[in-house]
């Protein structure tokens, strides 16, 4: 049985027809500006922050994917790195604020960061706060919603919903709003959006018949992989030219977003997280750093710690469970001795899928696969060296 990241959107609507009034996109993201992808929304927000507030340097968690640093660099900002702790929260002692600094806080895997510490730190040091909500969406039923903490917030829609792209920029600072430039109109979609759409259609067919398509996905290239020492930087993706002339959002995004019931998307993820956490609690070889999601969380995935995440991901994906390590080859370079928390997550972190409502049988499969992958010896998910490299086991 293939346990995908997302269910087919059409059958999802039929299954939940007749329930409470759905939360539409305009309800969840009021006043947000649509971009082709989250990285372009982030670039535009940082560009405006530099222009209006005079920001010159951005503090970014070291545990982060390359497009975040690329967008900041393209916006003319220097990038400084800070560490995260075992619960994926900032280690404040690793931030050295200075004049014209801003800080980017990432709600990892949809787990909401506590609002008060973020706002108190930024207020004490007169630093604008940028919320990276690429893994998250606001929960309208929660007392506190991600995206409402700082001057601006950025969302990447494909991380939480069955859409092939799209990013939202929410601007909470009224002085920044007039300077925001939004792409005019809609286009066919850039190459990445079209590739993602093709993958989604293939997954939908596979979901219907129960085929495991993950081995095929794992052979796709990692488009944002860091080239490594001594390698030439490519012209795209990630080049300043790409951000200077961002593509228009694909014309198919607005109608797809209009069909989404965000209330049910959010509920599915929250329920799946609780059920999976309850089943995995106490499993030998598995650590749940965040057994209970903080208020306002809409989990994109469940982060766990295991001894050999690369081996575990291969074993789980071979059994049809869309587990992954993050960010893999998209990780930005950093000094390991300065960021022990980041090192711990890179060495042991593994993500389990939550987007598809887990039936009892699917839950049994996921839990059994995790237990086998966490065991030592031959049953522990060790994979021969001839297998596909784990850095390719990522969503495009």
Tens-digit pLDDT profile for residues 112-134: 999 999 999 999 999 999 999 99
Domain ranges of the chain: 262-392
Identify the pLDDT of residue 389. 33
Read off the pLDDT band of 2 (50, 70, 90): low
Q: What angle do CA 207, 208, 214 make, to 5 degrees?
A: 25
Between 226 and 110, residue with greater pLDDT: 110
Identify the pLDDT of residue 289. 97
Give the Cα separation of 58 and 40 in Å (integer).
16
Give the Cα separation of 131 and 160 in Å (integer).
16
Read off the pLDDT band of 303 (50, 70, 90): very high
180-209 pLDDT, tens per residue?
A: 998 877 777 777 777 777 777 777 777 677
- pLDDT at residue 315 is higher than 50: yes
Give the Cα separation of 242 and 226 in Å (integer).
16
Give this prediction's pTM: 0.86
- pLDDT at residue 226 is higher than 60: no
What integer best gives the mean pLDDT of the chain? Answer: 85
Identify the pLDDT of residue 238. 57
Between 379 and 193, residue with greater pLDDT: 193
Backbone φ, ψ for residue 266 (5° rounding):
-65, -45
Residue 234 buriedness (CB in 10 A; 0-12 / 13-18 / 19+): exposed
- To the question of domain 262-392 being in CATH 3.90.1150.10, the answer is yes
Average of pLDDT values for 316-341? 93
Average of pLDDT values for 338-353? 97
Average of pLDDT values for 19-37? 91
254-281 pLDDT, tens per residue?
A: 999 998 999 999 999 999 999 999 999 9
Record the tokens describing residue 327, joined without a space.
């960010």
Backbone φ, ψ for residue 273 (5° rounding):
-60, -45
Identify the pLDDT of residue 3. 60
pLDDT over 90 percentage in the chain:
60
Average of pLDDT values for 68-82? 97
**DSSP strand pairing (101-106 vs 129-133):** parallel
Identify the pLDDT of residue 334. 97
Between 357 and 24, residue with greater pLDDT: 24
């Amino acid at each position: 049985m293939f346990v995908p990241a997302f269910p087919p959107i059409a059958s999802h609507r039929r299954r939940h027809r007749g329930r409470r009034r759905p939360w539409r996109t305009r309800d969840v993201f009021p006043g947000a500006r649509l971009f082709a992808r989250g990285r372009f929304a982030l670039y535009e927000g940082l560009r405006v922050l530099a222009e209006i507030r005079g920001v010159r340097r951005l503090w970014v968690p070291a545990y982060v994917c390359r497009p975040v640093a690329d967008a900041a660099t393209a916006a003319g900002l220097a990038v400084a790195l800070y560490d995260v702790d075992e619960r994926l929260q900032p280690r404040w002692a690793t931030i050295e604020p200075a004049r014209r600094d801003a800080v980017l806080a990432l709600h990892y895997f949809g787990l909401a960061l506590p609002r008060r510490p973020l706002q108190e730190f930024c207020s004490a040091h007169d630093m604008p706060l940028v919320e990276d909500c690429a893994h998250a969406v606001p929960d309208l039923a929660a007392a506190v919603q991600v995206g409402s903490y700082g001057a601006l917030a950025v969302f990447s829609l494909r991380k939480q919903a069955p859409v092939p792209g799209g990013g939202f920029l929410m601007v909470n600072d009224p002085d920044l709003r007039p300077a925001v430039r939004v792409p005019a109109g809609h286009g066919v979609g850039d190459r990445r959006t079209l590739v993602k759409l093709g993958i989604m259609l293939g997954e939908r067919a596979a979901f219907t018949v129960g085929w495991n398509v993950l081995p095929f996905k794992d052979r796709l290239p990692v488009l944002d992989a860091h080239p490594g020492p001594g390698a030439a930087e490519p012209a795209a993706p990630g080049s300043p030219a790409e951000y200077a002339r961002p593509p228009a959002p694909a014309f198919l995004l607005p109608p797809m977003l209009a069909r989404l019931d965000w209330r049910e998307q959010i509920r599915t993820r929250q329920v799946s997280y609780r059920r999976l956490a309850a089943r995995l609690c106490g499993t030998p070889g598995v650590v749940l750093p965040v057994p209970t999601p903080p208020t306002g969380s809409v989990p994109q995935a469940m982060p766990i710690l295991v001894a050999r995440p690369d081996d575990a991901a291969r074993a789980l994906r071979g059994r049809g469970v869309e587990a992954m390590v993050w960010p893999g080859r998209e990780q930005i370079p950093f000094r390991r001795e300065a960021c022990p928390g980041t090192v711990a997550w890179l060495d042991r972190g593994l993500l389990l899928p939550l987007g598809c409502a887990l039936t009892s049988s699917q839950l049994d499969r996921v839990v059994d696969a995790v237990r086998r992958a966490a065991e030592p010896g031959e049953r522990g998910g060790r994979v021969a060296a001839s297998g596909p490299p784990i850095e390719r086991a990522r969503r495009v």
